[in-house]
Amino acid sequence: MQCNNCGGTYIEISDDYKFESLIAGTLWAPDIHSLRCSRCTNRLLAPGEHKKILDYVRDKESELISQQPISHFISAGEAASMLAMTKQAFSKNKKIIRGFILFTVIDDRKYYLKKSVEQFKLTGDGRICLVVKEEYSDPLSWGDYSGKIIKFRQKEPIETTIPEGAFKYE
C-alpha cells in the first residue's frame, strides 16, 4: 500500500501510541497495531485500534479522577447552585452530560470536582489537567536522582549536516 502524502510504502508495526489528553496529559497507549510510511512517518491505525486507545485514555482519566480526595468533590445540587442554575437545568445541560465537568460516581450518585465546576463557570469548559507538570528552569533545582531508575523513550535520530569549517578556530 502506498502513502497518499509522499508515495512511500507502509510498514506494519506494533508500538506505543502517543495521545494528548486534557485531563491526564501525555499518555502512551501500549501495543497499538498500525501502518507507518517508510518515508514521511505518516501513520494509519489498524481497524478497531482507535477504540483500544480511547478505552486506555478513559481508564487513565477515571483513575486520576478517583485519586482525588473526597473533600474536593461536591454534590450535583451544590454544583448547580455554584453555576446559578436549577438542579434540573444542571442535569440536562448538554456540556455537562458530555463530560465538560469532571465527576465520579459513589453509591449511584454523581459527585463533581469542585475545581472543575469553578473552571466551567469561568470558561464553559471544566476539563482541567490533573497531572502536575514540572518545569525546570535551573538544573540545580532538579534534586538528587542518584540511585533512581529513570526511563526515557527512545526518539528517532535526527540527521543533520554541519557546514564545512563551522568549528575551525584560528
pTM over 0.75: no
Cα separation values, 108 from 18, 21, 125, Å: 33, 26, 24
Question: Residue 128: inside a domain, yes or no?
Answer: no
- Do 74 and 52 share a structural domain? no
Question: Residue 52: inside a domain, yes or no?
Answer: yes
Q: How many structural domains compose the chain?
A: 2
Domain extent, residue 116, equals 70-123
Question: Residue 139: inside a domain, yes or no?
Answer: no
Is residue 64 scored above 70 in pLDDT?
Answer: yes
Mean pLDDT confidence for 100-124: 93
Residue 159: per-residue pLDDT: 54
